[in-house]
Amino acid sequence: MPDRLSALDASFLYLEDSTTPMHVGGVAVFRRPRSGFDYDRLVGLIEQRLGLVPRYRQRVTQVPGRLARPVWTDDPDFDITYHVRRSALPKPGSEHQLHELVARLMSRPLDHTRPLWEVYLVEGLARNRAAVITKTHQAMVDGAGAIDLTQVILDVSPSPRKADAELWMPQPEPSTAQLVLDAMAEIVQRPGELVENMRAAALDAAATVRKVGDAVGGLASALGTAYRPAPGSPLNSRIGTQRRYAVARTRLEDYRAVRRRHGGTVNDVILTVLTGALRTWLLSRGEAVTSSTTIRAMVPLSIRETEPGDGVAGNKVSSYLLDLPVGEPNAVVRLHHVSHAMRAHQESGQSVAADALVRLSGFAPPTLHALGARAASSFSRRIFNLVVTNVPGPQVPLYAAGARMMEMFPVVPLAMNQALSIGVTSYDGGVYFGLNADRDAMSDVDVLASMVEESLEELVGAVSA
């Protein structure tokens, strides 16, 4: 029997529309080695390792009459050159041109008749660099066993690890009659299946709220936040089909220096830096900012599936609602507010330390950003202003086909009426911010990105004083 999509996976397909394509992306910048880094090398590397991610050769097949949720089936016409594409910037390609290309690619929904992913090799970047842009639908990131394609193509040395070559033969597609029979068999075994399919998204959202309650140390306190509408903000507006993309680059050592002086975690410092940047951005727009002004962030966090000491069994993400104190003018006081709010999660015993995440096999951040976006998507959009995903990565260089990865920026999708999403990844001594925004509502997203770097300078300066 084919593998049926979960209720939550199916909901990402059903709820997708032209303004809210539900794919997660990434932008990796590589330095070309002397041996070269071209399209054929990238295709060969991905083709060699697709066996590690079987879902990437499968497509979604609908059941006639929607009698049951769709199933995953092998694509008999799978064509890797359709999914791995080539693009180029006019030399010497600039950062602005790359970000404009990212925005345009992320604006386009994936083709639901094919496996739900795309990879673009972008050539022509200045300073002998190339970029790899990835798009993966959230329906493919199915929880504990989820692995992103980026995770399997990166190596810890310039010499690619060997992968056993295998001859892939697609399994025969189920006939229409077989799809109906399988669905009817499930209905007989579970008479409430049809009703459950319609209620599944609501049930998943309720389950996610319960997880947040556990994370903050009590369901009552979590519901008190969840049922209180998010404060009004220019970050919440009707969005269109087109996007803008901007990035910020910072150094991990600066965050560690602040943490050493004031305690807390690097994540607390990152959230404080974003708070300062958002404050300055609101003021630059002429928005009213008082001492009580806040912006509510949905912050997906990795949590344990096992008892402490048993290790991290797979990937599990829960969401945490955090009111960012943008009305506080003092950077250090902002940090103390954020650290105090996040401490409840840390003291719950469920939080996973950054070093434990880094020990996950491969380069886990793309997978965990996708899981974070899924967790946030389960919530009502009325209770938060933006999503912030922060996933620590390895602090050693990684390579693809011999090319060293210099930077890695996440692209977190927008939800309905959400004009901005922010993804953060640390890698090899750097902390990289990717800001995905609605093109019309956030025409100044590049200004906000520059304010991230200024906010960090302000906080470091306050520590050094």
Helix or strand (DSSP H, E) at 459: helix 445-464
CA-wise closest residue to 71 among 203, 202, 178, 169: 178
What mean pLDDT do residues 334-356 have?
Answer: 69
Buried b (16+ CB within 10 A) or exposed e, 265-297: bbbbbbbbbbbbbbbbbbeeeeeebeeebbbbb
pLDDT, the chain, mean: 82
Contact 272, 350 (CB under 8 A): no
Q: What residues contact residue 222 under an 8 Å CB cut-off, 6+ apart?
A: 209, 212, 213, 215, 216, 321
CA-wise closest residue to 437 among 421, 458, 425, 448: 421
DSSP symbol at 300: E
pLDDT at position 165 is 63
pLDDT tens, position by position, 107-128: 999 999 999 999 999 999 999 9
pLDDT at position 220 is 32
Residue 172 CB neighbours (<10 A): 10
Above 80 in pLDDT, residue 253?
Answer: yes
Contact 29, 407 (CB under 8 A): yes
Above 60 in pLDDT, residue 232?
Answer: yes
Percent of the chain with pLDDT over 70: 77
Task: Supply the pTM of this predicted model.
Answer: 0.85
CA-wise closest residue to 275 among 325, 333, 236: 325
Tally helices (H) and strands (E) across the chain.
Answer: 14, 15
> 234 falls in which pLDDT band (50, 70, 90)?
very high
What mean pLDDT do residues 188-195 have?
Answer: 58
Residue 259 CB neighbours (<10 A): 18
Above 60 in pLDDT, residue 200?
Answer: no
Helix or strand (DSSP H, E) at 245: strand 243-251
Lowest mean pLDDT among 188-197, 227-236, 251-260, 301-310: 301-310
Above 80 in pLDDT, residue 178?
Answer: yes
Q: What residues contact residue 266 under an 8 Å CB cut-off, 6+ apart?
A: 252, 255, 256, 259, 354, 392, 426
Above 80 in pLDDT, residue 344?
Answer: no
Lowest mean pLDDT among 221-230, 262-271, 273-282, 376-385: 221-230
pLDDT at position 302 is 62
Percent of the chain with pLDDT over 90: 55
pLDDT at position 207 is 41
Q: What residues contact residue 81 under an 8 Å CB cut-off, 6+ apart?
A: 43
Distance between CA atoms of residues 413 and 442, nearest Å: 14
